[in-house]
Amino acid sequence: MLPTIDYREMPRALQHLLERDAGEAPATALARRSFLKLAGAGGLALGAFPHLAAAQAGGTGQAASALKPTQQPSAFVQIAPSGEVTVTVNRLEFGQGVQTALPMILAEELDADWRLVRSQHGSNDPAYVDPAFGMHLTGGSNSIKHSFTQYRELGARARAMLLGAAAARWKLDAATLRTRAGQVLAPDGRKLSYGELAEAAMAQPVPEKVTLKDPKDFRLIGQPTTRLDARAKSSGRQDFGIDVHLPGQLTAVVAHPPVFGAKLVSVDDSAARAIKGVKAVLRVPLDRGAEGVAVLADGYWPAKQGRDALKLQWDTAAVEKVDSERQLLQYRELASSGSGARKFDADMAPLAGAPHHIEAEFVFPYLAHAPMEPLNCTVQISDSRAELWVGSQFPGVDGNAAARVLGLKPEQVQVHVQMAGGGFGRRANTSSDYVVEACEVAKAARAAGLSAPVRLLWSREDDIKGGYYRPMQLHRAHIGFDGRGKVLAWDHVLVGQSITAGTFFEGMMVKNGIDATAVEGMREPYPLPMRLTVHHPKLNVPVLWWRSVGSTHTAFVMETLIDEIARTTKQDPVAYRMALFGDKHLRHRAALQLAVDKSGYGKKQLPASRAWGVAVHESFETVVAYVVQASVKDGRAVLHRVTAGVHCNLAVNPRTIEAQVQGAALMGLSMCLPGAAITLKDGVVQQSNFGDFVVPRITDMPEIAVHIVPSADAPTGMGEPGLPPLAPAFANAIARLTGKPLRELPFKLA
């Protein structure tokens, strides 16, 4: 049975066609996808509500009181009478697979029957903070890395409570009992299912210390496992934040200024108010001191039509109008100034006398995140509380921002984290820009007498023109080296906006005036005598992390220059890298060797029109190496095959890792394609949709094989590390074909 359509989301003409074909008026009150209700609303479940974590701590003895909310199973595990186990995930699922991997980890120690395991999102409840950072966070490829031990212990504690309940019922010593696939087993053969024990287990004390499994006994962790959300997503039945529909809900779209931070001079909304379905037109404050106009209607299409009908005049005189061409000149002046903050400061005296030199300038443009699901947030306000439905990477930060706007205390705001259709960092903004915007609109609507829930939707054009881009970067390098490829001196300058300056991350991320996110990946793992100078100009363009952050540009610079040194000194690029690793960096060596072995590099003869390309890079404590095959056809670079060697320590779900690397490689390829750039002219972003901000199509996707280095060490990050080395590996292959190194992204071969 297909999901019901919400006809209000469609253009009027299409509505009329559907009404004609149906022979009757459409039902407008039902959503295209049914609204996702929270699990555990009924039945006797272990941990029916997150706030039971605190309540349980006070009523189950001294051991529990020593545990933090993040350590107590009541917030994370629900076991229904049927035996179904629902695991609450303390991260946003937006494609990376945490709604499967984290339940796998917990279910492993719980000894759950995997066939009965389900997952759901958490909220801004304190139990769901990152246990290492102490804040609600999905980012930095930290989900599995930081919650691996946490979720193992949660599962082990829940298992101990179930054993305690069974022991009490049978009047046996819990040490004589064992568990298997969702059941507690007695020595005499008696069995009790987890569902039968769930209510009694709730009354058991929560053990402070638990013994975890020996990894050799894992039966779930390490097994290629189909994602729990695969069926819903592949069938089109998955609910996302954009699909939230509450009774009486209105949809809002906002007219944003053409230049960041601009204010309104005048508003003529007469034509907008005349459009059928439009309920209100409201001026609202926006991000970065700007103003905008919100159009609220009973569906997206009338709201969009209303916005299109607005006649607005903007005051842009008081804000800086960034121009990409002028910006590049400014960056070049800074790079040549001789000033700047110093990260590394090796002796540059040997540079002048070096027998070989490379002088290079690299330019990287602004990049939009452009997730398939544009930004959205639904807000419902009452006199004393508010609820938000949003696919948020920062639910705690977003909830606090909503509280400030709405004049509430943080505990009066509940954030229901929704499945998101991508994000790549855009849904982790310290300013909470689109969430604040949704709250401002909802507050203004309430003040105007509209008490309905408000769903804010950004269009694709809003999303691409709406700011918070990967910063534009300029690198300059002057390298001196000898005939064996030994680098004698490397003088490097980096110019780009700081992502964390002015945010709550500044205190720990900005040291000596240098944003750590800008320089991550520079120099390492190679033992190079480098002087690194950094400039962070301030411009009127909002910037934010973009999948793999600084490594999006530093990996390209480092790996193409290392390759160029190898070519200049007539050395094999793999052998040259291995020699630089020496007896250190064993994970780099293992990842690169695995990619080389699996690709056939050095053994397989390629056609004359193709060349090998190699790159290896560590980000978020994971090493990914690529060996690629590429060619040039009709003046265009073509990527044919990619072989990946991945060292992420223990692979919780190899199938998810494979998918992550495939997706990251494709996103890395996107940086290379002509048209993959955000540019500004007189303060106005020139791109607006996928017609002029290029993303890869299926025809651009190469064959890709992913291989994982076996390891039993604790997992490291996996969401982002597959992206950085793709572009330099591709560029190195093209340089071998053309004899010309590529210094700019996207590629320019002419």
Q: Render pLDDT for 590-642 as a digit per residue (tens, 0 to 9).
A: 999 999 999 999 999 999 999 999 999 999 999 999 999 999 999 999 999 99
Half-sphere exposure of 615 (CA within 13 A, CB side): 33
pLDDT in tens, 394-425: 999 999 999 999 999 999 999 999 999 999 99
- Does the pLDDT at position 670 exceed 90? yes
pLDDT in tens, 324-378: 999 999 999 999 999 999 999 999 999 999 999 999 999 999 999 999 999 999 9
Q: In what order do the strands lie in the sheet with 117-121?
A: 77-79, 85-89, 117-121
| Mean of pLDDT values over 698-706 | 96
pLDDT in tens, 198-252: 999 999 999 999 999 999 999 999 999 999 999 999 999 999 999 999 999 999 9
| Mean of pLDDT values over 658-683 | 98
This prediction has a pTM of: 0.92
162/199 Cα distance (integer angstroms): 9
Instruction: Tell me the pairing of strands 117-121 and 85-89.
Output: parallel
| Mean of pLDDT values over 314-326 | 97
pLDDT in tens, 261-307: 999 999 999 999 999 999 999 999 999 999 999 999 999 999 999 99
**Are 72 and 64 in contact, with CB atoms under 8 Å apart?**
yes
Q: Among candidates 144, 133, 127, 311, which has minimal Cα distance to 221?
A: 144
Residue 237 is predicted with a pLDDT of: 96
**Are 271 and 305 in contact, with CB atoms under 8 Å apart?**
no
517/500 Cα distance (integer angstroms): 8
| Mean of pLDDT values over 547-574 | 98
More confident: 150 or 45:
150
**Mean pLDDT, rounded, of the chain:** 92
- Length of the chain measured in residues: 750
Which residue's entry shows tokens 């990376």?
96
Query: Which CATH number applies to 338-366+469-738?
Result: 3.30.365.10
| Mean of pLDDT values over 504-508 | 96
- Does the pLDDT at position 558 exceed 90? yes
Whether 241-318+375-457 and 52-232 are alike in CATH topology: the answer is yes
Indicate the domain borders of the chain.
7-32, 52-232, 241-318+375-457, 338-366+469-738
- Does the pLDDT at position 11 exceed 60? no
pLDDT band at residue 45 under the 50/70/90 scheme = very low
Which of 3.40.190.10, 3.30.2320.50, 3.20.20.10, 3.30.365.10 is the CATH number of 52-232? 3.30.365.10
The CATH architecture that domain 241-318+375-457 belongs to is 2-Layer Sandwich (3.30)
Residue 65 is predicted with a pLDDT of: 61
pLDDT band at residue 63 under the 50/70/90 scheme = low
The two structure tokens encoding residue 194: 């987890």
CB atoms within 10 A of CB 644: 29
Interaxial angle between packed helices 395-406 and 433-447, expressed in degrees from 0 to 180 and rounded to the nearest 10: 30
290/256 Cα distance (integer angstroms): 8
In DSSP notation, 194-215 reads: HHHHHHHHHTSPPPS--PPPPG
Half-sphere exposure of 484 (CA within 13 A, CB side): 4
pLDDT band at residue 66 under the 50/70/90 scheme = confident
| Mean of pLDDT values over 116-145 | 97
pLDDT in tens, 81-107: 999 999 999 999 999 999 999 999 999
Residue 690 is predicted with a pLDDT of: 96
Using CA atoms, how far residue 145 sits from 139, 585, 648, in Å, is 11, 20, 10
Maximum Cα–Cα distance across the chain:
85
pLDDT band at residue 7 under the 50/70/90 scheme = very low
| Mean of pLDDT values over 431-447 | 98
28-44: b or e for each residue (b if 16 or more CB lie within 10 Å)?
eeebbbeebeebbeebb
| Mean of pLDDT values over 114-133 | 98
